[in-house]
């Protein structure tokens, strides 16, 4: 770690290793340090280079600051791949963290601040820009970086619903294909959501493909870095919409000393976006910490102690600071009323066409450069253009590239009526044919499974109604994507699953859909649709915001331990209260009871296969191994035991490949142990062979010594070797509903024992 100034307290700035602008950033750190020194705010301004593409590196850097009592706070870029994990670590260790650049709303909170503005406010500015020109179609060219994915997710959440957007992933090798697709879609408004290197290549190549503004195309870039490229692009210009002052026009409430100093150091009139972000973050952290020291002098030697973050937040919110381009005040962990600069670029040259401000989720226009009368012309500093394909009548197909059905309305009324009737009749025949075609396709593929196939017909959807956004996971049966499903006027966020490769058995892949199509329960994941036409099969399921239960518990386990030890107090620790854990146990038991009543066995019940939705309710998922049992014997038997999850399987499943509702109860017991230990692996680090030997010889999963008597009692009744002696899922559900705080976190390591503890009678 290198220091620019040496004083009692220290501010650490994390720069990206290999960033070509790092020398400029170091000069800005010196400028901000000098300015704070003039205001009698002496700090050691340290900087450190870190790998911004590593999702874990920044987290451990922030964690290491806890050991240094001189640390006043830290600054990191919003586009650092590890910013989410680092924010959680900053909150845990009570270290103020300023995020430079438009920040993900979800990571903000006590100790974590958006010093430049929120990502949602940034998207609002883009939405306003498009609406001023009456544009409703925009194609987005995105790279594969984490920040670009975050930007797309924010657009899906916050952009005006009347604006239809299409996202296309680009790499340096696929830019040409993207250009062809732009022309094919007749897209005229293009937003580049990519890092500078790809953005430069796109802009400097577009003219060769006839995609210039003079030919009716408007280019908007998420950011634009000054480059050393000297190629002439006389016919090519584009726009940026950002929170950063880039040089030139100085708006009201700006610091003349800072703007002149920045331009003098920078050497030209074009300033990199990160410059303003970094200087403003340093000023906010420096002044905020100074106010904190004045209001809480007793804490100056214990900067990371109890309630440091909340006290610092109050101090920071109470002051207003002169920033580079505006007066800054932090409210609700974010810069209040951030300024938005609309810049028009031609290569490295730019001019500011308008300045806005975000106030209470509303865009307020402060200044404009152009004399155009219409609002679109003002912000473009050019004539407004069309956004592409428009229809006089109605459209069908993909909303972004609709099929227009324009009809020359020059016939007499009778002729128009006949044409309308003909169209209605044709559409009816087409829909009937499509319905019959889907049915025929399903029956053809699964002609020997008619009873199971028929429920899927009601879930068939057209491939054009599905929009795949990005991958969120990979399993043994396929890849899972974050996607959108459009049905009529409604759009749903879904999880889309595709086979891993073309050779996958379609029957096996769709087995989970067969099962889910027949299930409807509040604690079972919901089937949203199935697509079998024009490509590989896709199964659409309900999307759970908080992902799987195992990850959810593990991510919060350390916070619970720290809270138990009195080191920290976290507001949302209520998520893992006794009441919440017990409710999840009851919900899991309710789902297993429901399956038992319908004569299904799940065979893969564990925390990794339980999802937590937006309302923090548990949803049993992953029905790829689920089977319907014999009506009379209620048993499913298999000789294929190589893929069973050994750590969760009952003795009869390991020994003979026999699965019943009672074997699901054994697995449910192991799931309850995972909930109790907040996600610890059952059997610890035991090998698979050791677990099999242990269970087949009458053993059970080891229990932690601090497990509650109530939980221990339920688990022992789940793990009788004789399936007939095991408690039912119905009784487990009833017990936890009657004892809503029965499960408490057990944080000690499980202790293996050759003698199982006694079973206490249920109360």
In whole angstroms, what separates CA 78 from the centre of its chain?
A: 14
Contacts of 266 (CB under 8 A, 6+ apart): 24, 247, 272, 275
How far is Cα 96 from Cα 314, in angstroms, rounded to an integer?
12
Residue ranges of alpha helices (H) inside 80-232 are: 83-93, 119-132, 146-158, 175-185, 196-206
How far is Cα 68 from Cα 8, in angstroms, rounded to an integer?
12
Cβ atoms of 526 and 516 within 8 Å: the answer is yes
105 HSE (CA, 13 A, CB side): 13
Contacts of 419 (CB under 8 A, 6+ apart): 407, 411
Cβ atoms of 434 and 463 within 8 Å: the answer is no
Dihedrals φ, ψ of 186, to 5°? Answer: 55, 45
Cβ atoms of 504 and 519 within 8 Å: the answer is no
Can you tell me whether residue 227 is helix, strand or coil?
Answer: coil
Positive/negative CA dihedral, 97, 251, 356, 236: negative
What 639-645 contacts at long range (C-beta under 8 Å, 24+ apart), as own/partner pairs, is 643/476, 644/603, 644/604, 645/604, 645/606
148 HSE (CA, 13 A, CB side): 25
* Residue 351 bridge partners (DSSP): 344
How many helices (H) and strands (E) would you count in the chain? Answer: 22, 31
DSSP secondary structure, 679-720, as one string:
SPPTTTT--HHHHHHHHHTT----B-TT--HHHHHHHHHH--
Contacts of 190 (CB under 8 A, 6+ apart): 138, 139, 140, 141, 182, 211, 217, 218, 219, 220
Neighbours of 191 (CB within 10 A): 24
Using CA atoms, how far residue 144 sits from 167, 185, 471, 480, 722, in Å, is 12, 22, 11, 16, 52
How far is Cα 448 from Cα 437, in angstroms, rounded to an integer?
18
Hey, what are 120's tokens?
């949602």
How far is Cα 98 from Cα 83, in angstroms, rounded to an integer?
11
> Dihedral (C-alpha) 387, 392, 395, 399: value to the nearest 10 degrees?
10
DSSP secondary structure, 592-641, as one string:
HHHHHHTTEE-S--SGGGEEE-TTS-EEE---TT-EEPPTTT--EE-S--
497 annotated as belonging to a binding site for a ligand: yes
| Among 343, 604, 622, 664, the one annotated catalytic | 604
604 is catalytic: yes
Neighbours of 489 (CB within 10 A): 5
Nearest Cα residue to 211 out of 241, 195, 188: 188
Contacts of 288 (CB under 8 A, 6+ apart): 73, 96, 312, 315, 316, 319, 330
Contacts of 725 (CB under 8 A, 6+ apart): none
How far is Cα 145 from Cα 389, in angstroms, rounded to an integer?
30
**Active-site residues: which are they?**
604
Annotated binding site for ATP: 497
Binding residues: 497
């Amino acid at each position: 770690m290198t220091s620019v100034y040496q004083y009692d307290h220290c501010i650490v700035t994390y720069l990206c290793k290999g960033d070509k602008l790092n020398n400029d950033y170091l000069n800005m750190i010196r400028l901000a340090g000098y300015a704070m020194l003039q205001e009698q705010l002496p700090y050691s301004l340290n900087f450190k280079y870190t790998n911004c593409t590593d999702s874990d590196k920044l987290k451990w850097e922030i964690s290491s600051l806890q050991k240094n009592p001189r640390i006043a706070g830290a600054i990191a870029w919003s586009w650092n791949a590890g910013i989410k994990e680092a924010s959680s670590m900053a909150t845990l260790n009570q270290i103020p963290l300023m995020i430079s650049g438009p920040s993900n709303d979800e990571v903000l909170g006590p100790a974590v601040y958006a010093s430049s503005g929120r990502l949602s406010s940034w998207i609002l500015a883009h939405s306003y820009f498009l609406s001023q020109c009456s544009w409703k179609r925009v194609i987005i060219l995105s790279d594969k970086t984490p920040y670009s994915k975050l930007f797309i997710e924010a657009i899906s959440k916050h952009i005006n619903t009347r604006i239809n957007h299409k996202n296309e992933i680009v790499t340096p090798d696929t830019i040409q294909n993207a250009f062809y697709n732009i022309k094919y879609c007749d897209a005229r408004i293009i937003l580049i959501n990519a890092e500078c290197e790809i953005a430069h290549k796109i802009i400097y190549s577009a003219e060769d493909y006839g995609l210039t503004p003079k030919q009716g195309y408007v280019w908007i870039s998420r950011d634009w870095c000054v480059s050393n490229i000297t190629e002439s692009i006389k016919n090519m210009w584009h726009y940026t919409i950002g929170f950063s002052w880039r040089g030139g026009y100085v708006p009201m409430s700006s610091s003349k000393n800072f703007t002149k100093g920045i331009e003098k150091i920078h050497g030209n009139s074009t300033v990199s976006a990160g410059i303003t972000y970094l200087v403003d973050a340093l000023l906010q952290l420096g002044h905020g910490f100074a106010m904190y020291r004045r209001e809480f002098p007793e804490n100056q030697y214990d900067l990371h102690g109890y309630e440091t973050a909340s006290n610092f937040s109050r101090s920071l919110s109470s002051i207003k600071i002169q920033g580079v381009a505006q007066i800054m005040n932090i409210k609700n962990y974010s810069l209040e009323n951030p300024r938005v600069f609309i810049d028009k670029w031609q290569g490295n040259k730019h001019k500011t066409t308008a300045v806005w401000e975000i106030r209470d989720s509303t865009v307020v226009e402060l200044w404009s450069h152009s004399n155009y009368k219409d609002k679109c012309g003002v912000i473009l500093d050019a004539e407004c253009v069309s956004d592409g394909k428009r229809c006089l009548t109605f459209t069908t197909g993909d909303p972004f590239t609709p099929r227009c059905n324009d009809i020359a309305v020059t016939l007499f009324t009778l002729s128009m009526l006949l044409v309308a009737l003909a169209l209605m009749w044709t559409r009816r025949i087409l829909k009937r044919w499509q319905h019959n075609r889907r049915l025929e396709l399903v029956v053809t593929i699964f002609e020997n499974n008619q009873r199971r196939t028929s429920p899927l017909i009601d879930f068939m959807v057209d491939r054009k109604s599905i929009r795949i956004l990005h991958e969120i996971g990979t399993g043994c049966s396929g890849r899972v994507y974050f996607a959108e499903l459009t049905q009529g006027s409604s759009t749903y966020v879904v999880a889309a699953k595709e086979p891993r490769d073309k050779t996958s058995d379609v029957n096996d892949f769709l087995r989970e859909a067969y099962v889910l199509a027949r299930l409807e329960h509040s604690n079972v994941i919901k089937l949203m649709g199935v697509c079998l036409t024009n490509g590989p099969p896709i199964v659409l399921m309900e999307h759970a915001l908080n992902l799987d239960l195992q990850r959810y518990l593990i991510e919060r386990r350390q916070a619970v331990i720290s809270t138990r030890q009195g080191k920290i107090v976290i507001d949302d620790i209520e998520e893992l209260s006794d009441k919440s854990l017990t409710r999840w146990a009851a919900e899991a038991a309710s789902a297993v009871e429901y399956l038992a009543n319908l004569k299904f066995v799940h065979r893969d019940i564990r925390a990794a296969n339980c999802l937590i939705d937006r309302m923090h309710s548990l949803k049993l998922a992953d029905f790829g191994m689920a089977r319907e049992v014999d009506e009379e014997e209620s048993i499913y038997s298999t000789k294929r035991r190589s893929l069973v999850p050994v750590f969760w399987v009952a003795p009869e499943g390991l020994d003979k490949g026999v699965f019943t509702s009672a074997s699901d109860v054994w697995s449910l017991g192991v799931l309850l142990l995972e909930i109790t230990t907040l996600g610890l692996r059952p059997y610890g680090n035991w090998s698979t062979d050791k677990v099999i030997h242990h269970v087949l010889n009458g053993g059970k999963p080891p229990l932690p010594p601090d497990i509650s008597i109530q939980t221990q009692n339920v688990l022992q009744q789940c793990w009788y070797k004789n399936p007939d002696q095991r408690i039912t899922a119905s009784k487990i559900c009833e017990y936890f509903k009657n004892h809503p705080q029965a499960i408490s976190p057990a944080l000690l390591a499980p202790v293996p024992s050759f003698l199982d503890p006694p079973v206490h009678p249920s109360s």
